[in-house]
Amino acid sequence: MRNTISIIMGSQSDLETAQEAINLLKEFGVSPEVKVLSAHRTPKELAAYVEAAPKRGIKVFIAAAGGSAALAGVIASHTALPVIGIPIETKSLKGLDALLSTVQMPAGVPVAAMAIGRAGAKNAALFALEILGIAEQSLRGKLAEYKKAMRARIKKIKIKI
């Protein structure tokens, strides 16, 4: 499955966190489109990319941004496709500003906000796969196996005190 998910980062510095989502998607056989487009510095290019995405087969957007983190909301304002936001941890406020910007959207412009940082990136990938899995039974099976393996790893943990 190629290019059904688009990952957009507000800047290249967001790649370290977004890479978690990219790697997980690839584990499931999904090769995402990956772009750097800023809601503030390249707004016209961002709008054009988002509006043309369905023609390329994109079904879900993942937006990774720190600071004011307007990216996910701006993407959502230009599409009827699902948008998942990953707040990036920053030095100044540890990502709290990005979380609040991502989660506090006005009515009519929905964004699914994940946790700050790496866990959020992984969950964004899994949530995007779950969305695609609604129509793709084989993907649902892979997700079930992933969760089964995760449970097995936890059950193997033995704590000696």
Kindly indicate the confidence band of residue 92, based on its pLDDT and cuts at 50, 70 and 90: confident
Distances (CA, A) of 9 to 28, 46, 82: 21, 11, 16
For residue 57, the one-letter residue type is G
Phi, psi of 58 (to 5 degrees): -70, 135
pLDDT tens digits along 5-46? 999 999 999 999 999 999 999 999 999 999 999 999 999 999
Measured from the Cβ of residue 85, the count of other Cβ atoms closer than 10 Å reads 28
Domain boundaries of the chain, sorted by first residue: 2-155
2-155: CATH topology is Rossmann fold (3.40.50)
Q: List the structure tokens of 62.
A: 């993942």
Tell me what percent of the residues of the chain surpass a pLDDT of 70: 99
14 touches 42 (CB < 8 A):
no
In this predicted structure, the answer to whether residue 2 has a pLDDT above a threshold of 80 is: no
pLDDT tens digits along 65-79? 999 999 999 999 999
In this predicted structure, the answer to whether residue 53 has a pLDDT above a threshold of 80 is: yes
> How many whole angstroms separate alpha carbon 86 and alpha carbon 102?
8
> How many whole angstroms separate alpha carbon 123 and alpha carbon 113?
10
For 87: left if phi > 0, alpha if psi spans -120 to 50, otherwise beta; the answer is beta
Which DSSP symbol is given to 14?
G
pLDDT tens digits along 123-139? 999 999 999 999 999 99
Q: List the structure tokens of 12.
A: 């290249």
pLDDT tens digits along 142-152? 999 999 999 99
- Global pTM value: 0.95
In this predicted structure, the answer to whether residue 1 has a pLDDT above a threshold of 80 is: no
